Amino acid sequence: MRDDRLGGIEQLRDVFEYLYAHNLLQEALKEKREAVLLWEQIKEIVMQIKFSNIALQDHIHISVDYGLALFKIVCHGWEVMINGFIGDKAGVYNAVAITNAISSYDLAWAQYDIMHTSLPSCSSLYNGFYFNLPGQPVVPGLDDSVNLYRSIKNDEPEKVKKDS
């Protein structure tokens, strides 16, 4: 993450290589899933609070929904990238895991985008591309990394070889 940008494989390749070499990729995914669970717990707690100031209540509810939506995007993006990265290394891809994560990623983005259009007080949204200076080309980020694996389909029950 940088400013309002979400990085992808280009920015994380060294991290993924390290995690892969040390058998920590699943631990990294576990951390992303735990972040989503924490936001869900925060939302449950906040929903139980009775606010006397409705504007403050709305602001806090929107902020919590924003955090939950953003971390769902990050979590599902990492699921795609890590499963794709493992497939890149092995030459065989877990199509079920990748396509399920892509579906969840797309749904998370759709929900996130709705927040921005339907809630005027919502914070500005992150972008699925990485940081670039004004006037410079867009730097590929999370969206492009997820898109790398969209061609992998659930054609076989467990794994398919990616056509390159």
pLDDT per residue over 104-154, tens digit each?
999 999 998 888 777 777 777 777 778 877 888 888 899 999 999 998 865
Examine residue 113 and state whether it is found in any structural domain, yes or no: yes
Examine residue 2 and state whether it is found in any structural domain, yes or no: no
- Report the interhelical angle of 95-118 vs 54-90 (nearest 10°): 160
| Stretch 85-95: mean pLDDT | 94
Examine residue 37 and state whether it is found in any structural domain, yes or no: yes
Examine residue 1 and state whether it is found in any structural domain, yes or no: no
Number of domain units in the chain: 1
In whole angstroms, what is the distance from residue 65 CA to residue 117 CA?
14
In whole angstroms, what is the distance from residue 14 CA to residue 69 CA?
27
**Both ends of the chain: CA-CA distance in Å?**
29
Examine residue 3 and state whether it is found in any structural domain, yes or no: no
| Stretch 51-74: mean pLDDT | 93
Examine residue 4 and state whether it is found in any structural domain, yes or no: no
pLDDT of residue 99 exceeding 80: yes
| Stretch 21-44: mean pLDDT | 97
In whole angstroms, what is the distance from residue 29 CA to residue 85 CA?
13
For residue 143, give the H/E element and its range.
helix 142-147
Examine residue 46 and state whether it is found in any structural domain, yes or no: yes
**CA triple 137-140-146, angle to 5 deg:** 155
| Stretch 46-58: mean pLDDT | 94
**pLDDT score of 164:** 45
**pLDDT score of 157:** 42
Beta bridge partners of 127: 5
pLDDT of residue 67 exceeding 60: yes
- How many CA atoms, within 13 angstroms, populate the side-chain half-sphere of residue 139? 16
Beta bridge partners of 130: 139
- How many CA atoms, within 13 angstroms, populate the side-chain half-sphere of residue 73? 26
Number of neighbouring beta carbons within 10 Å of residue 57 = 14
Residue 32, domain extent: 9-160
**pLDDT score of 154:** 55
Mean pLDDT of the chain: 88
Examine residue 35 and state whether it is found in any structural domain, yes or no: yes
Q: What is the pLDDT of residues 142-152, one digit of tens each?
A: 999 999 999 88
pLDDT of residue 160 exceeding 80: no
